[in-house]
Amino acid sequence: MRFIPSLIAASVVLAEVVAAGAKVPRAFGVPSDDGFPNPSPQQILDISQRAKGKLPDGATPSSLPAGTVTTLQLIAFNELFETAFFSSLINNITNGVDGYTDAPNGAVEILTAVLAQEELHALGAVSILKAAGAFAPSPCQYQFPVAKIGDAVALAETFTAVVLGALQGAGKQFALDGVADFVQLIASVIGQEGEQNGFYRLLLNRIPSEKPFLTFVPAPYAFSALQLFVVPGSCPFPLSDINLPIFPTLAVNGGPVAVIQPNDQTLSFSADLSTSPNAQQYIGGDGSGLYVTYTIGQQQPVSVSITNVQWQGSVISFSAQFPYSANQADGFSHGALTTTSNPSSFDALVQCTLAAPAVIQVNNNIV
């Protein structure tokens, strides 16, 4: 396991790389050498062989409730991004790109299966939407703020944690909409993504099973986080075609991801609120009525007051306590800048959000 030490360092370096805004020299698209995202029937069989399994073959409905449509659109949007990420990662390893020559044994074989599995996830969501006559997202161009294999694995672990949080909401939405077969379907995807993340966490020398109840991520937070990886203006459709708000980024400790030690501490935050209509009354103020609200595991949202507020135009900078001990906040959690303290529900949390999500990773390393 000689690869693990470099990955431990990468979990810290990732935050620094993202904060610095470093990008690979070019934008990435989804894989296309196997016909994706519009493969022929034979190409789908080829993808299935690499994925070690086939697409579901149950009947697809000719119409869907609005909430289910939006949920499937978010899933498709995310899965297309993931295919671009894993395709670029495999390309960097197989071509011996600087920073990617120290991949562990079997990495390409494992990632090839993961890529094919993500392609099938995307194809499945898109096919359901099209069968129902609903808008289905098509690929954008993507950018990844990593320059070496360790950073890439740390990024994969982070965005997969966000996905696992968002898919919880997908299951709930399908249940509310009465599409029971989709509840079963998404449960199978949650398990598959969890298997992936346990592997990434093990490479990072973290306990593979992060916590007993994984952190929930509201759909608008997941959609907002994904915009960090989309080349602005590159999507061949208006982002408003997906009925989810996009919140301003809430940076934490200098970037969208803070990798911190397991203790109570003060974190620094910043956000540009110029595009947040509900924020205008607070711009230039002392921070009264504003909070950082954390989501940790399956606990209800917990808020703390903000301090040391400073403004540069519409950009707010401030500090807030991270209540690790009281909430056993190991692994992944996230914060939002809100206008309500301790919102009564996750729906209420979204309604009072000005900027989000600030992604926080507490290292629960293997000793």
Q: What pLDDT, on a 0 to 100 scale, did the predictor assign at position 309?
A: 98
Q: Is the peptide bond before 357 cis (omega within 30 degrees of 0)?
A: yes
Q: Does residue 189 lie in a domain region? A: yes
Residues 51 and 168 in one domain: yes
Number of domains composing the chain? 2
Q: What pLDDT, on a 0 to 100 scale, did the predictor assign at position 9?
A: 41
Q: What pLDDT, on a 0 to 100 scale, did the predictor assign at position 6?
A: 41
pLDDT band at 364 (very low <50, low <70, confident <90, very high): confident
Q: Does residue 50 lie in a domain region? A: yes
Q: Terminus-to-terminus CA distance in the chain, angstroms?
A: 15
Q: Does residue 20 lie in a domain region? A: yes
Q: What pLDDT, on a 0 to 100 scale, did the predictor assign at position 239?
A: 98
Share the mean pLDDT of the chain.
93
Residues 161 and 209 in one domain: yes
Q: Does residue 367 lie in a domain region? A: no
Q: Which of 197, 220, 241 is the last residue of a domain?
A: 241
- Rounded-to-integer distance, Cα 179 and Cα 65, Å: 9
Residues 150 and 67 in one domain: yes
In the predicted model, is pLDDT for residue 8 greater than 60?
Answer: no
Residues 227 and 306 in one domain: no
- Rounded-to-integer distance, Cα 286 and Cα 62, Å: 53
* 347 phi and psi angles, rounded to 5 deg: -65, -45
Residues 103 and 191 in one domain: yes
367 vs 11: which has the higher pLDDT: 367
- Rounded-to-integer distance, Cα 305 and Cα 136, Å: 40
Q: Does the reported pTM lie above 0.85? A: yes
> What does the pLDDT look like over 129-181, one tens digit per residue?
999 999 999 999 999 999 999 999 999 999 999 999 999 999 999 999 999 99
Residue 30: burial class (beta carbons within 10 Å; 0-12, 13-18, 19+): buried
Kindly list the distances between the CA atom of residue 116 and the CA atoms of 50, 146, 187, 302, in Å, as whole numbers in the listed order.
6, 22, 19, 39
Decide if 244 contacts 346 (C-beta within 8 A): no
Highest mean pLDDT among 10-19, 64-73, 145-154: 64-73
Q: Does residue 42 lie in a domain region? A: yes
In the predicted model, is pLDDT for residue 74 greater than 80?
Answer: yes
Q: Does residue 152 lie in a domain region? A: yes
Q: Which of 217, 241, 265 is the last residue of a domain?
A: 241
- Rounded-to-integer distance, Cα 210 and Cα 233, Å: 35
> What does the pLDDT look like over 279-315, one tens digit per residue?
999 999 999 999 999 999 999 999 999 999 999 999 9
* CATH classification of the domain holding 269: 2.60.40.10
Instruction: Give the domain range for residue 155.
Output: 4-241
H-only helix segments in 52-106: 66-94
pLDDT band at 26 (very low <50, low <70, confident <90, very high): low
In the predicted model, is pLDDT for residue 11 greater than 80?
Answer: no
Q: What does the DSSP assignment read for 91-131? A: HHHHTT-TT-TTPPTTHHHHHHHHHHHHHHHHHHHHHHHHH
Q: Which of 220, 241, 262 is the last residue of a domain?
A: 241
